[in-house]
């Protein structure tokens, strides 16, 4: 399968409803119900300080990344998911790289995210792109699921 280029999903675009519907399906398959934004997805995307990039090949949405910039100093990557059958093909890396650049363009100093330490491939992807583990947050996802809080600081001299 060819590698898609991350596209920005903008409100009012002709494909908005279809892409959101596909992303909600992917969200439900990827994340446990209590972690899924499927019920509030549209509301999350309406926020002024949030963005979404997605990868589609032949009209099929293969993955997405949501990010937000809650302050002028920091941004966060809130969700990153790729269809299981399309993983390890570079889509997640392309999405992450594009989200980092979107955050960098907002002139923030730090991008942070949370990831389940047992999701080794995800942890390694973030580390490959310069994220460092800040700490382990006990019971972040649920009573028996922790998270690494990871961050990437931007060098002002770049």
Q: What's the pLDDT at 40?
A: 65
C-alpha 59 chain-centroid distance: 20
Half-sphere exposure of 54 (CA within 13 A, CB side): 23
**Per-residue pLDDT reduced to its tens digit, 67-97:** 988 877 899 998 899 998 888 889 999 999 9
Buried b (16+ CB within 10 A) or exposed e, 57-80: eeeebbbbbbbbbeeeebbbbbbb
Domains plus CATH for the chain? 7-153 (3.40.630.30)
Gap between the Cα atoms of 61 and 19, Å rounded: 7
pTM of this structure:
0.84
CB count within 10 Å of CB 122 equals: 20
Describe the strand order of the beta sheet including 60-68 as a list of residue ranges. Answer: 7-8, 50-57, 60-68, 74-82, 110-115, 145-153, 132-142
- What residues of the chain score a pLDDT lower than 50? 1, 157-158
Task: Give the three-state DSSP class for 137.
Answer: strand
Q: What's the pLDDT at 1?
A: 44
Q: What's the pLDDT at 52?
A: 87
Task: Give the three-state DSSP class for 39.
Answer: coil
């Amino acid at each position: 399968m060819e590698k898609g280029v991350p596209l920005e999903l903008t409100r009012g675009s002709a494909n908005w409803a279809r892409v959101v519907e596909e992303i909600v399906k992917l969200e439900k398959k990827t994340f446990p119900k209590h972690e899924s934004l499927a019920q509030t997805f549209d509301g999350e995307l309406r926020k002024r300080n949030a963005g979404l990039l997605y990868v589609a090949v032949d009209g099929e949405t293969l993955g997405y990344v949501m990010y937000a910039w809650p302050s002028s100093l920091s941004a966060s990557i809130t969700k990153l998911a790729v269809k299981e059958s399309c993983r390890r093909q570079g889509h997640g890396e392309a999405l992450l790289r594009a989200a980092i650049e979107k955050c960098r363009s907002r002139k923030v100093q730090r991008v942070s995210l949370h990831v389940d330490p047992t999701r080794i491939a995800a942890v390694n992807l973030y580390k490959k792109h310069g994220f460092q583990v800040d700490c382990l947050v006990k019971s972040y996802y649920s009573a028996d699921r922790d998270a690494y809080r990871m961050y990437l600081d931007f060098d002002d001299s770049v």
